[in-house]
Amino acid sequence: MPDCLPPLEHPRRPSQALPPGAWDTHCHVFGPPERFPYAEGRSYTPPDAPFERLAALHRHIGVKHAVVVQAACHGADHRALLDALAQSQGRYRGVAVIAPDIPQAELLAMHAAGVRGARLNFVPHLGTPPDAATVLALADRIAPLGWHLCLHVDGASLPGLLPLLKRLPLPYVVDHMGRVQAARGLDDPAFRGLLSLAAEPAAWVKISGIDRISQGKRPFHDGLPFMRALADAMPQRLLWGSDWPHPNVRGDMPDDGEVVDALFLAVPDAALRHRILVDNPAQLYEFA
């Protein structure tokens, strides 16, 4: 049985239209388990959230392209992810969860299917974080393909990871604004460390998961100053994502129309929003 809340059935439409060609660079597909079983020993069981519902959500909010990120509940079984990429007919990219010793043939097949990154979890409730040797070995395997590392970290783990990140030989993306805590303010050392990545040419950040840094009440506007600060610091390497279907939400379930509206509030300049929503992801995810 699912132990996570489902996403809202009827999110409202955003107040303003996203630019043509907009990307959602962080979303998931889950199940259905009769086709795509969940992993044994998983830390959570989500409600089903198949490709059809994700595509409907994207039509509703005005997204054309997306990045489907492999979630911990599916482990290393990428069938749901690869099915979503195939059904998107080239409009979506993927981020996989792989080991450094993955066979080269499997790696090349993922690349051909549209995968462009590998995700590593440093959030303790999702499992034991990888050590530095594992991170560097994985980076060496995927760098020749032009892939990047996608890093799921939290405010507690981020400061200790910064020296390792600066050693990476490829681009890397920090998910969900590093899951810093808005209640600690903009001067929190974890957030200052995240902002310091503006000086690192290989570093990218997703201004996704506003609810995950918020104190948990819609519309999560206590996260807006953090989005603004990142947009000011590193606009050329910033990405936006919905985080649908919002697994493991601990506060209010986000309304995806409000999530889009939060971006407009945090980034009022249309040219900068276009860079974040269209130009930056097209560059990182190799979409001509």
Distance CA 256, CA 7 (A): 9
Catalytic residues: 243
**Residue 285 · residue 93 · CB < 8 Å:** yes
Give how far the C-alpha of residue 198 lies from the chain's centroid of Cα atoms, to the nearest Å: 18
| DSSP E strands, the chain | 23-27, 65-69, 92-96, 115-121, 148-152, 172-174, 203-206, 238-239
Strands 172-174 and 92-96: unpaired
Nearest to 172 by CA among 228, 116, 130: 116
φ, ψ of residue 188 in degrees (nearest 5): -60, 135
Determine the Cα–Cα distance for residues 148 and 3; give it in Å rounded to an integer: 31
Four-residue CA torsion sign, 156, 162, 167, 170? positive
- Please choose, from the candidates 131, 132, 102, the residue with its C-alpha nearest in 3D space to the C-alpha of residue 115: 102
Helix (H, G, I), strand (E, B) or coil at 165: helix
Phi and psi at 201, nearest 5°, equal -60, -20
Strands (E), 1-80: 23-27, 65-69
